[in-house]
Amino acid sequence: MSDAAALREPWPDLQRQREGVTVGIWLFIASEVLFFGALFLGYTVYRTLYPEAFRIAAAETNVLYGSVNLLLLLTSSAAMTIAVDASQQEKRRTTLVCLGLTMLLGTGFLLVKGLEYSDDIAKGLFPGPHFPLQPPQTQLFWAFYWVMTGVHAIHLATGIGVVGVFAFILWRRLLPLGSPAIVGVATYWHFVDTVWIILFPLLYLVDRS
């Protein structure tokens, strides 16, 4: 299969196209940084205002689930990198296996997250009139918990979908292994991992000592 199959309008050659895709995806990442950044800003403002309430509230998060999920995502990122490297060396099997592994680990993350959510809901930790914690500002922490993890989970689910579609395309040889698109997919995946790395200390490690 020739590289020509991966070349798209309006690019003169595949190398240039690869650079273009990289520029494009990193611009998107810069945009995403500000998307999540707005959440981080809100979190930081409220934590600065109500350190005590945040300490009380954050003690209720489940650090085990959070940590397991961090390890799952870190591993998935490693698998994704191996997939990219392998694809560029035309190692079809390794590429597909690693993409599969990435999706598997990502799905694992979502499963753990689901367990965590159901625990949280069982403990009544969704802000509302019967919220178990006091003072009321603890609800701010939990509001941010739900929005942050929710938005992250949506990103991750999207990532799994995109990786899945892409793996399918490679499997059915609709695109050659060397397609620049894989760079975009991988960079996005790593970014979603990045967000969790930042969320982890903010949500799970507050004043554990």
In this chain, which stretch among 88-96, 99-107, 110-118, 162-170 interacts with other proteins, using CB under 8 A? 88-96
Closest to other proteins by CB, 140 vs 160, is 140
Amino acid at 22: T
CB within 8 Å of 184: residues ≥ 6 apart: 21, 22, 24, 25
- Cα dihedral 77→32→37→65 (10° resolution): -30
Q: Binding marks (x or -) toward other proteins, 160..189, rule CB under 8 A? A: ------------------x----x--xx--
In this chain, which stretch among 29-37, 101-109, 115-123, 160-168 interacts with other proteins, using CB under 8 A? 29-37
Structure token digits, residue 206: 């507050």
147 binds other proteins per the rule CB under 8 A:
yes
Distance of closest approach, residue 177 Cβ to other proteins, in angstroms: 11
In this chain, which stretch among 108-116, 117-125, 162-170, 193-201 interacts with other proteins, using CB under 8 A? 193-201
139 binds other proteins per the rule CB under 8 A:
yes
- With CB under 8 A as the contact rule, the residue among 63, 104, 153, 169 that binds other proteins is 63
CB within 8 Å of 109: residues ≥ 6 apart: 69, 72, 73, 76, 156
CB within 8 Å of 185: residues ≥ 6 apart: 162, 163, 166
Cβ(179)–Cβ(99) under 8 Å? no
Cβ(113)–Cβ(192) under 8 Å? no
Query: How many residues line the site for other proteins (CB under 8 A)?
Result: 87
- With CB under 8 A as the contact rule, the residue among 101, 151, 153, 169 that binds other proteins is 151
